[in-house]
Amino acid sequence: MASAGRDERDPRIGTAAAHWSHRMVTNGVPLADFEDVTGSISRWDEWCPAWVARGNVHDDLAATAEAEGRRRSAGEHYATAAICYHFGKFLFVHDPDQMRDAHDLAIAAHGRALPYMDPPGERVTIPYDETRLAGVLRKPRGVERPAVVVMCMGLDSTKEEMRTNEDVFLDRGMATLAFDGPGQGEAEYGLPIRPDYEAPVASVIDWLEERGDVDTGRVGLWGVSLGGYYAPRAAAFERRVRACISLTGPFDFSEAFLHAPDLTRAAFVARSHSPDEHAAADVARRMNLAEVAHRIECPTYIVGGALDRVIPPEHARRLAKAVSGPAELNMVEDGAHVVNNRPYRYRPASADWMARQLHV
């Protein structure tokens, strides 16, 4: 596809590139792939097909490596294919059929990567409200009944995006369980966004207790972006949570929703199963920590980006002031949303902090 002049490009492409370039590269998209794909398209309708085509390149490399017995390479290629497919679908809500097809490719490629990861991952399904939530459990090598970090997704992230986030905890001897909750990933089609996120978190911990291969006396919560609301919300009610990390989450999502990029608002309308933005705003108003943050008694690590254009940094400061338990605020002065442009300023430190809280 020939590239059009920048003034002719659909502004949504520029929005996606400006807001999410660091996230995409930090979480596994090769920089050259990001530049090639975003530089080759001029219409938003081309976004998902272009990323699927790039994912297919990595999927083919994975299949070749797998056939030749090169397991490590196969896993790396499958994981890269999955992340390309994922970012093809993550905000492509205007075309549900195409979005779902790309999502299915991401799930399949990530599933093929799991046994080849180091440490390997296990696809799991968790009973919840007469259905099941899909997740990925990874456990550190050589650790019997490790502490576990339950990872809460955001508005447009899914478990297939979490590998690099998981690794910092696994490297420090903690297990990770990334799961798709209501309105997220595999659950987004049948279950709308749920403001009282303590309900799915309780189901996840119940299920972990039944397994017995992780130490549910040492459970941490981690949440990214909108998940940075979900994790503290759950910690306010779920006493089995020993520590909580919130990454640039909203204190009052209704404030952020009004000023969010168009693509983000459209994704929230779709994943809250709302008929329009007005109805979605009603859901957003229920996503407010003001009346529950005082219930958070476990230690909380809060990351804010002073340059965040999606969730204003003041939200992190408000959460730090509102909790009852110990709070550590890491405000990254040159950090954008989720501080994906400076991950080294919080990822190692937050994982070290979690290890201390869970007595690893």
Mean pLDDT, residues 237-254: 98
β-bridge partners, 241:
219
φ, ψ at 138 (rounded to 5°): -125, 140
Q: What is each CA distance from 205 to 44, 123, 151, 193, in whole angstroms?
A: 40, 16, 12, 19
> What pLDDT, in 10s, does the model give residues 173-213?
999 999 999 999 999 999 999 999 999 999 999 999 999 99
Q: Which residues contact 358 (CB under 8 A, 6 or more apart)?
A: 147, 149, 174, 218, 219, 220, 242, 243
Q: Which residues of 288-327 are buried (b: 16+ CB within 10 A; e: fewer)?
A: bbeebbebbebbbbbbbbeebebbbbebbebbbebbeeeb
Share of residues in the chain with pLDDT > 70 (%) = 98
Mean pLDDT of 138-158: 98
Q: State residue 3's pLDDT score.
A: 43
In this predicted structure, the answer to whether residue 2 has a pLDDT above a threshold of 50 is no
Tell me what the pLDDT averaged over the chain comes to.
97
Q: What is the pLDDT of residue 15?
A: 85
What number of CA atoms fall less than 13 Å from residue 4's CA on the CB side?
A: 13
pLDDT score of 158? 99
Which DSSP letter does residue 302 get?
A: E
Band of pLDDT at residue 354, cut at 50, 70 and 90: very high
Mean pLDDT of 2-25: 78
Secondary structure letter of residue 94 according to DSSP: T
User: Would you state the pLDDT for residue 1?
Assistant: 40
Q: Name the helix (H) or strand (E) containing 35.
A: helix 31-40
Long-range contacts of 64-72 (CB under 8 A, 24+ apart): 66/112, 71/116, 72/116, 72/118
pLDDT of residue 84: 99
**pLDDT tens digits, one per residue of 264-310:** 999 999 999 999 999 999 999 999 999 999 999 999 999 999 999 99
Domains and CATH numbers, the chain: 6-112 (1.20.1440), 120-357 (3.40.50.1820)
pLDDT for residue 19? 83
Instruction: In whole angstroms, give the CA distance from residue 280 to residue 55.
Output: 32
Task: Say if residue 7's pLDDT is above 60.
Answer: no
First to last CA, the chain: 51
pLDDT at 53: 99
pTM value is 0.95
Question: 22 pLDDT exceeds 60?
Answer: yes
CA–CA distance, 153 with 258 (Å, rounded to integer): 21
